[in-house]
Amino acid sequence: QVQLVESGGGVVQPGTSLRLSCVASGFSFSSYGMHWVRQAPGRGLEWVAFMKYDGSDKFFADSVKGRFTISRDISKNTLFLQMNSLRVEDTAVYYCARVRDNHSPLRFWGQGTLVSVSS
Amino acid sequence: DIVMTQSPLSLPVTPGESASISCRSSQSLLHSNGYNYLDWYVQKPGQSPQLLIYLGSSRASGVPDRFNGSGSGTDFTLEINRVEAEDVAVYYCMQALQTPPWTFGQGTKVEIK
């Protein structure tokens, strides 16, 4: 069955970097687009980044543009979110989610990984 | 960017009764193909979000028929019939027509009276 498992979260200081991973299993990883969505403590859902199934398109929320990058290693069925210049307001649980294309629903989600940015 | 607005933000419901959540978009979500690119997600306490309804009115796999999505264009509704204790959760709408960005509503917290 489809599984998405995030990792890499932790407590970091403002201005530092962190790389999140999302290991996918149970489906052909290279055939699906992937999102990162985050949720600050006690807040709602916020879309962060998207990578098209073939890696040709990558999009970012304005709040993270220029600081975050999205990439993948198909050989390891792993999606990454490289987060640089972290800010206190980046504190959130980060979820990866699978989609078929830009307009598809986020049908499968991981369990999330918590990133806490604090001095 | 398309702004999604949900109401109410908090909804106390008596078990067995119905609950209705509104989601309005700042622009039409109706594609020329006839589909509305509006999805509903549910997030139960301590869990990840899960897909509930897609394309405005299609139930995701395993979703009970007590959950119904309706609407078109800019006005959408999620109705929960015969609310059960297990329906306590936060419900979000999300638009997937004009992307990026993908935008969510603020969330509606359904609780039992």
Give the pLDDT confidence of A76-115 residue by residue, as tens digits.
Answer: 999 999 999 999 999 999 999 999 998 999 999 999 999 9
Question: Mind telling me how many Å the CA of A109 is from chain B's nearest CA?
Answer: 7
Q: Which of A61, A104, A112 has its CB closest to that of B101?
A: A61
At residue B18, the pLDDT reads 97
Q: What percent of chain A has pLDDT over 90?
A: 98
- What is the average pLDDT score of chain A? 97
- The SS3 call for residue A29 is helix
- The per-residue pLDDT for range B75-113, each reduced to its tens digit, is 999 999 999 999 999 999 999 999 999 999 999 999 999
Give the span between the Cα atoms of B7 and A118, in whole angstroms. Answer: 33
- The per-residue pLDDT for range B29-82, each reduced to its tens digit, is 999 999 999 999 999 999 999 999 999 999 999 999 999 999 999 999 999 999
Determine, for residues A105 and B96 on separate chains, whether the beta-carbon distance falls below 8 Å: yes
Q: Is A85 on the interface with B (CB under 8 A)?
A: no
Determine, for residues A44 and B37 on separate chains, whether the beta-carbon distance falls below 8 Å: no
At residue A108, the pLDDT reads 98
At residue B60, the pLDDT reads 97
For chains A and B, CB pairs below 8 A equal 62
- The per-residue pLDDT for range A32-87, each reduced to its tens digit, is 999 999 999 999 999 999 999 999 999 999 999 999 999 999 999 999 999 999 99
Question: Mind telling me how many Å the CA of A59 is from chain B's nearest CA?
Answer: 7
DSSP string, chain B: ---EEEE-SEEEE-TTS-EEEEEEESS--B-TTS-B-EEEEEE-TTS--EEEEETTTEEPTT--TTEEEEEETTEEEEEE-S--GGG-EEEEEEE-SS-SSPEE---EEEEE-
At residue B17, the pLDDT reads 97
At residue A67, the pLDDT reads 98
At residue B92, the pLDDT reads 98
